[in-house]
Amino acid sequence: MTPVLNAIIVEGSLIFLPDEDPDHHREFHAYVMMVQNGYFEAGTEDHPYTSKLTITMYGDEYSPSLPTYGNKSIGVRHGTLKMFGNKRTPTWTSLS
């Protein structure tokens, strides 16, 4: 397992490039992540991320939190977050 990071602030670019092996598995562990004036990408519409990527956010009700965003969050402020993976069907669900 990769280390659990306390806080990630993306002010540049964080890009997860797809691996040619569809069974390849990447993991990302953090308490909070903020994309601020930055860019986060996992795949594109033309080239979706086809490997496995697991993003796990940590914390509990007592963990430090970001104002407005809370804890265990991926916040975006004046930035871009794009995630494209394999197409799934159906693309909707019904909740009761």
What global pTM score does this model have?
0.78
The residue extents of the domains of the chain are 4-83
21-25 mean pLDDT: 86
Whole-number percent of the chain with pLDDT over 90: 44
Task: Sheet with 80-83: list strands edge to edge.
Answer: 13-16, 39-42, 80-83
The single-letter DSSP state of residue 94 is -
Return d(Cα 22, Cα 85) in angstroms, integer. 11
Return d(Cα 77, Cα 25) in angstroms, integer. 28
Tens of pLDDT, residue by residue over 63-93, are 878 888 888 899 999 999 999 988 888 888 8
How far CA 91 is from CA of 22, 47, 63, 83, 85, in Å, comes to 22, 19, 34, 15, 13
pLDDT at position 10 is 95
Q: Predicted confidence band at 15 (pLDDT cuts at 50, 70, 90)? A: very high
